[in-house]
Amino acid sequence: MTHMKQTLRILLVNKFYYPRGGDCICMINLESLLRRLGYEVAVYSMDYPQNLPCKTSRYFASEVSFSGGWIARWKATERLFGSGDIVRSFQRVLDDFRPQIVHFHNIHSYLSPIIVKLAREFGCRTVWTLHDYKLLCPSYNCLCRGEICEACFTDRTQVVRRRCMKNSLPASVLAYGEALWWNRAKLQRWVDTFVCPSSFMAQKMRACGYDYTKLAVICNFIEQDKLEAFRSDELQAFSAEPYYCYVGRLSEEKGIRLLLDVARSLPYPLYVAGDGPLADELRGKYASEKIHFLGHLSSQEVVQLVSWARAMVIPSVWYENNPLSVIESLCMGTPVIGSEVGGIPELIREGDGCLFRMGDKEELEAAITAMMDNSCIDRETISKRAQERFSETRYWEALKKVYGVESDI
């Protein structure tokens, strides 16, 4: 190890510290990777009952919620604009840990961009991985009433006019105010590099006026431990009959209704893993001998389910950024049928599966049928190619340039 490698201190920041979603999983995986590389790593998050055990949890910002009484909502609103205890708690971790690099992930609302300013003033290199479109769209997801929308790219008042945030006027007004307060000029001044997991994200950032010299495209990676768990023999029951699967959130933007409508007309078993706001409704409407709802699965159970599937389907109807579900499926050697939207096409290369036009039932049905009837899929080649593309080594080679360090895995 070099001297720099032994002494470099990196602070990782995300609003939650448990496997809640892709942003959390990416940061937790990065923490594990950096520790194995020999760096000193600390974590900063919001205090939350489901957080993983953490040595630096005493520094965490207090929990806030927008769903409580008026006092709770007021504290959450203060946090939104960088007031309250967030400054004091983050300054403490800076003073005590003294990081040279602070790597931010998902920090809006439950933390605050004020901490980016504090890190910059402390003299840290600041890196921000963008897991959603919050810097471009006040409601995060570039959706309005279920349709893809870029109206706020040029006019932020649209979030209020269209009530894009939870279809609520107060929530949309807050989102508008937050977007004005944490504007592009401030964020670009405080951030050294914005890491975009997809070229699609980087293109949207550049189109909205962000300095291209501050953008780095680095695709997400899959952790080494999960690679070693692939192709487990413990789920033989699933492989008794060829099936396809969906793993993800059961919500409108994921296109799950489209998939289920198509699945009802097909003879092949579909296994649906995941939970979300539509779970009860969809289970009641679609559950059958051919459509099986599995609910939330553990990481190991997901590996087992996907690795034995004939195909994984990603039917999204929004700007997916760099979905881990696609990456994991390909690393298992399971081909992906993906919606041609957002960053999905960047992940599915020739031989890795196929794309279908977003929202097109006929194309999706044809794609599923072709995949299920294809018994000559070269899973070994898919897996080998994907594990090289999405490896820790490849990710670190790109990230260390952003960090400005010299080291190897």
Residue 400, token pair as written in the block: 């260390």
For residue 273, the one-letter residue type is: A
- Per residue in 62-73, pLDDT (tens digit) is 999 988 888 999
pLDDT for 2 equals 40
CA quadruple 166, 171, 172, 173: dihedral, nearest 10: 170
pLDDT for 21 equals 87
pLDDT for 145 equals 84
For the chain, report the end-to-end CA distance as a whole number of angstroms.
11
Those residues with Cβ within 8 angstroms of residue 212's Cβ, 6 or more apart along the chain or in another chain: 202, 206
pLDDT for 240 equals 58
pLDDT for 198 equals 98
pLDDT for 111 equals 96
Angstrom distance (rounded) from CA 366 to CA 185:
47
User: 4: closest CA among 123, 101, 102?
Assistant: 101
pLDDT for 232 equals 46
Handedness of CA 35, 38, 43, 49 (dihedral sign): positive
Q: Beta-carbon neighbour count of residue 303 at 10 Å?
A: 22
- Per residue in 221-244, pLDDT (tens digit) is 988 777 666 654 443 444 558 999
Tokens 């810097």 -> residue: 135
Which segments of the chain have a pLDDT < 50?
A: 1-5, 232-238, 409
pLDDT for 51 equals 97
